[in-house]
Chains A and B, each alone.
Chain A
Amino acid sequence: MRAFRTFGLVVFAASSLWAQDVIKIGAVMPLTGKESKIGGAYKVATEYAVKEVNDAGGLQVGKKKMKVELLLLDDTTDPSKSAQLVEQLINQNKVDAIIGGYASHLVQAQSVVPERYHVPYVTGGAGASAIYGRSKWVFGVLSPVEKLAETQMDFLSDLQKSKKLKTPLKIVLLKENTEHGRDFEKGVKDYAKAHPKQFSVILDESFELNAADFHPLLSRVENARGDVFMCDAHLEDYIAMHRTYTQMGLRHDMVTYGARGADDAARKALGPATDYVFASGWWSALLPYPQVKAFNEKWQKAVGSAPQWYHAAAYETARSLFTAIRNAGSLNKEAVRNALAKVDLKDSILPGGELKFSPTGEAVLPFVVTQNKPGGKLDLVWPRAAKTGDPVAPIPK
């Protein structure tokens, strides 16, 4: 019996030693279901970042070089399952840290678990401010949606200063009835309030996701007679709404659907009606930084297609976590969490070229603004220093 117990202890000790050679990273993403398209892209980019580290021999943790083992689970775009799988990764798989998934509602569900078990958690797929600041264990790479709206207002303000747009501008503001939409609304309204001589919000309305008929809402937009049309919408609503907008013959000096605009699916669905729509994004392959060019090339070579913003966000999410583990010099969860709080990626591919987290755990990075041009062309028009073309304003009649 004693021999058996000794044998067991030896096996346990050996397996513990073996486990120390691998960094276990858990990830929960929507690989099936409604968010599977972007969730799948997050998976590809996360796996790519892990492969890159492992191909280089692993991650230097203290005196050891350790390989990264990625345990990636599919939450089927179900928030309750998403949270449950994060819990499973922590309790059963004993992961050292978690990479969160995509879509604010799924991340919101996941984000309560790290606090419960004191496990470092970093996500690249949620920009809703409500997720952050509640737990010291939760970090996010996507800049808040409020900042997105603020960037768009900065862009419009710059167009006013260059006399391309008139001053003051009357804004009609529409937003989806979600956390994302409310953050967008707050960003626009706060900016307008701070710049009353430049902007006024003359209509502020919300709509439910996947609305069947946008006529009643757009009739109000028509009657409001605003100068700028600012809307925060998901892709399906952007397409349905802009079809109705075009059919109704509406026209504004500038039109935006928040983060939507340059999507291939929208350009395919709307044709030339998307020309001159401007959009803000968390990243663009057009950014003129050398590290972005290098990333574009290696991504194209490895994956065979051009990277999108979600690839860049997921890649930088994994990289920020790896950097934190390396800086912590151990897999101690508190040490990794503290290192995450101090992360400063000075070679980041994200806008601004530097990634660090604010005290609430949310990265606050500038957004880029792109504008669709005729013939399927897309230009980066903001920030000015990075622009690939001049913004067209007002939209030609």
Chain B
Amino acid sequence: MISVLLNTLLAAGLYATMAYGLAIIYGVMRIINLAHAGVMMLGAYAAYALFSRFGLDPFVGLVVVAPLFFVFGVLMYAAVGRRIAGAGATPSIESLLVLFGVWLVLQNFAYVVWTGDTQSILTGYTMKSIKVAGVRLGVPSVLVFLASVGSLIFLNVLLKRTYLGKAIRAVTQNRDAALLSGVNAGRISAIAFGLGSAFAGIAGAMLATLMAFTPDFGRSFLLKAFCIIVLGGMESVTGVALGALVLAALENGLAAYTSVPTSLQDAVSFALLFIALVAFPQGLPSLFARFERRAAIR
């Protein structure tokens, strides 16, 4: 039981890390950033370059990766994002196609620079584990989990306690009203794209400590991240963490307590996505709000 619980928490940390960036960009710009996987892949290679060239630990290297990918995201917004930014409630087909194209460009750029060879990062703690309540947990997974919790706190503070965060939330909730209130929605979108890319880069760098990667890296995570943000409510980072927790709990619980083949993990994600879209399209937070309202009426 404890083992399932702890592994669920670690997996949730991993999944949430993959999904934060996607949620931020969707929340502000109503764009499903299909280039997210490509940016994660570049994040993995950035961590690899810092590690192999300068001996910088991938987790320490995040202080370089985060600002680097923030700038990259802002530049990507200036080059591509602002041309496809939609103020509508649903993402436009153009934005999906353009960002899919960006992903392919990033992927092929990586093939040219790093070739298709499988790369990995082996640190002194990669193969190590620690015992928590008698359960062995991989050190890199624990570090990813801690970084994920740190990211959640940072994003909550940023979004709820700062002017920038309030402006981001205003654009997220009602772009037109935010514009009328004097919020520079274009600038906020650029920052959101930068933040989303920074978190995608961070996710890629951290995932590189867990697994090997090629320029194709990130493809399978994109679908999982998408399921998580639909489940968690596309505009809330706490919802994202919650969505990741539900998904991880379901996957680990099914493996531990049922005989459902683990190869159906992805099927579980998609079934959950389907249920979420049909039953509570605004995500888990809206479902909880609905329950609260009903309880108050009673």
A residues contacting B by CB (< 8 A) are: 32-37, 177, 205-213, 215-217, 219-220, 235-236, 239-240, 243-244, 246-249, 265, 268-271, 273
Q: In this assembly, does B214 line the interface, its C-beta being within 8 Å of a C-beta of chain A?
A: yes
Give Cα A142–Cα B192 distance, bound, in whole angstroms. 51
Residues of A with C-beta under 8 A to B254: 216
Within 8 A of A (CB), among B237-271: 248, 251-252, 254-256, 261-263, 265-266
Residues of A with C-beta under 8 A to B262: 205-207, 216-217, 220
Residues of A with C-beta under 8 A to B55: none
Give Cα A249–Cα B111 distance, bound, in whole angstroms. 35
Chain B, residues 178-194, CB within 8 Å of chain A (1/0): the string is 00000000000000000
Q: How far is the CB of B155 from chain A (nearest CB, A)?
A: 21
Residues of A with C-beta under 8 A to B266: 208
Give Cα A33–Cα B140 distance, bound, in whole angstroms. 29
Q: Is the CB of B211 within 8 A of A216?
A: no
Within 8 A of A (CB), among B41-93: none
Q: In this assembly, does B273 line the interface, its C-beta being within 8 Å of a C-beta of chain A?
A: no
Q: How far is the CB of A179 from chain B (nearest CB, A)?
A: 14
Q: How far is the CB of A277 from chain B (nearest CB, A)?
A: 14
Q: Which residue of A lies closest to B219 (CB)?
A: A210
Q: Is the CB of A219 within 8 A of B137?
A: no
Q: Is the CB of B265 within 8 A of A211?
A: yes
Known: A243-B138, A247-B141. A236 touches B118 (CB 8 A): yes
Q: Which residue of A lies closest to B256 (CB)?
A: A219
Contact of B7 among A219, A269, A270 (CB under 8 A): A219
Known: A212-B15, A213-B11, A219-B256. A271 touches B127 (CB 8 A): yes
- Add 19 more A-B contacts to A35-B116, A205-B263, A213-B14 (CB < 8 A): A37-B116, A205-B262, A207-B265, A212-B14, A215-B11, A216-B251, A216-B255, A216-B262, A216-B265, A219-B4, A219-B7, A220-B262, A235-B118, A243-B126, A243-B127, A247-B127, A265-B117, A271-B126, A273-B127
Q: Is the CB of B122 within 8 A of A268?
A: yes
Residues of B with C-beta under 8 A to A209: 220
Give Cα A273–Cα B129 distance, bound, in whole angstroms. 13
Q: Is the CB of B129 within 8 A of A236?
A: no
Give Cα A54–Cα B111 distance, bound, in whole angstroms. 33
Chain B, residues 253-297, CB within 8 Å of chain A (1/0): the string is 011100001110110000000000000000000000000000000
